[in-house]
Structure 1
């Protein structure tokens, strides 16, 4: 169903929500969206948190009201911004269109120069939806996590550089084994190409419903990645001998666990709706980006392989590419 059709059913003007990167320059894309919206009877709103980042006439609302009003989201940034937008509406999934103001961009598909065409397709319903599951984490001690839903991964890492993460894994209340490692990555299929991949874990098809658990620098216990079913209940028991553990959800610091704590993780299917305008093209580009990451060359060294007359205008050899956001 299109954003417009969904709103028509409610008797309301179609409402698009903006989620923007906290520091990257996105003014041009915001202007494009507002200019387009004025001629297509579409209302644009943003979060109070982003008020100072939005130029132009845009109403801002607290997060709860923002989530309740939007029929679709446009995320301006990189994959990190896209993940944040998806987490925002995980309890009430709506189509999320990613506009790449980042670098590699595995999730985001649209570039700023094609944004206007993408908006027209979004509102008319000329797109497909790529469904994503998210991991829902909770601390059994009752202490809430600052961020508890992750579309990429939940990572348990040792705090500082001393000691090791030591924990027991139970699946469906059955003892599975133990880990002693620098960090443990619990990933979704879509997140399998992130930290899990860097740690040597398997790439899992986004169409699969599964949980991947991969140790980083394993010293004892389970030393390889395991793949569990979507309905499996995962519990991670921090051993009394473990170093203090920091929990990150999609790269966001979320909790500090002490020995004796128990973290539970489950997969919630169909928690995210990513807009795809050309799913086949996007999949091919993602595979190419993954293959480039495997090459023993930095971005600037790859550029040196292209004849100077064929390089993009003004493309000098840049430094190391910063982390996408």
Structure 2
């Protein structure tokens, strides 16, 4: 019988060695192979296979994302043509997609192997940007270059002109992405159980000034007008076009393009509600720590101590 293959997607810069070691040790005891992309071969022990990124996506039964939301989004994008479960292990600062803390990982791996989990389906945006198709699980944004004026773009929905925007940035988001750039720009929070597309201008100067919530069946076209400043196009926070001065973006919605592993959906939602409430507090992390009861502060401090060698 073929051995199960789990894939690893690692945060590009943060040290994930302790978490990788936990996964590799667990795999050695459970007749499971582990693989990572070739570019991360130097960051894993010799027992972890290194394969090309495209081959990794095709061969694995599931991916383990080690990082924050950005790493998780990259893992989901890599599987968009053949969605498979993605388990998120937290190595970031404030992740909304990632559920598992490092100390919970051994139990989470057991449950993943036994298929004792639920799957949360995520939709994505499929965008035609200058002839290239790209996907985004959070958002696509047109962003002005500092000192160069404003993003000025017209909006058409299903081929009918709707109006125009003149703003610092224009964000098109999924329900999942409504807690990210769109939220920071003043957009609404949209339940991940909802099927919708949100279009939100950031710092609007003229034209449409509020968020629009559109049906997933409606096709969106954003076209730069002749008086627009050069803009960058971002996909899930990654720049894919710089200094564009003309052209259009066609955006459509794809259901169930990503599968996120959920072990305790209720606790996950409660954590996210707390994280959202913290976003609106004008306090630094150390100041927030001082608001905790003494016993909880001590517990948090113990968790942050490096493990004994």
TM-score by length of 2: 0.94
Tell me if 1:50 matches 2:40: yes
Look up the match of 2:288: 302
Distance in 2 between residues matched to 1:281 and 1:169, nearest whole Å: 39
Deviations 1:275-319, CA, capped at 9 Å, x for gaps: 000001100110111011112222221112235554135849xxx
Given that 2:141 and 2:169 are in contact with CA atoms closer than 8 Å, whether structure 1 keeps it comes out as yes
Given that 2:17 and 2:44 are in contact with CA atoms closer than 8 Å, whether structure 1 keeps it comes out as yes
Tell me if 1:37 matches 2:27: yes
Look up the match of 1:91: 81
Given that 2:128 and 2:250 are in contact with CA atoms closer than 8 Å, whether structure 1 keeps it comes out as yes
Given that 1:212 and 1:228 are in contact with CA atoms closer than 8 Å, whether structure 2 keeps it comes out as yes
Tell me if 1:208 matches 2:198: no
Tell me if 1:62 matches 2:62: no
Distance in 1 between residues matched to 2:212 and 2:296, nearest whole Å: 44
Distance in 2 between residues matched to 1:58 and 1:180, nearest whole Å: 50
Distance in 2 between residues matched to 1:221 and 1:82, nearest whole Å: 35
SS in structure 2 of the partner of residue 214 of structure 1: strand
Deviations 1:84-114, CA, capped at 9 Å, x for gaps: 1011101110000000011121111101111
CA RMSD of aligned residues (A): 1.7
Look up the match of 1:190: 176
Look up the match of 1:7: none
Given that 2:145 and 2:243 are in contact with CA atoms closer than 8 Å, whether structure 1 keeps it comes out as no
The one of 191, 196, 205 aligned to 1:219: 205
> Which range is displaced more, 297-306 or 40-49?
297-306
Given that 1:16 and 1:73 are in contact with CA atoms closer than 8 Å, whether structure 2 keeps it comes out as yes
Q: How does 1:235-314 map to 2 (within 5 A)?
A: 235-256=221-242, 258-308=244-294, 310-312=296-298
TM-score by length of 1: 0.89
Given that 1:246 and 1:253 are in contact with CA atoms closer than 8 Å, whether structure 2 keeps it comes out as yes
Residues 310, 15 of structure 1: alpha-carbon distance in 2 compared, 3 angstrom cutoff: closer
- Structure 2 alignment gaps of length 5 or more: 303-309
Look up the match of 2:12: 22
Distance in 1 between residues matched to 2:298 and 2:181, nearest whole Å: 30
Look up the match of 2:67: 77
Look up the match of 1:322: none
Tell me if 1:174 matches 2:164: no
> Which range is displaced more, 187-196 or 304-313?
304-313
> Which range is displaced more, 85-94 or 295-304?
295-304
Distance in 2 between residues matched to 1:174 and 1:263, nearest whole Å: 15
Q: How many correspondences in the alignment?
A: 303
Distance in 2 between residues matched to 1:314 and 1:279, nearest whole Å: 23
Given that 1:22 and 1:53 are in contact with CA atoms closer than 8 Å, whether structure 2 keeps it comes out as no
SS in structure 1 of the partner of residue 249 of structure 2: strand
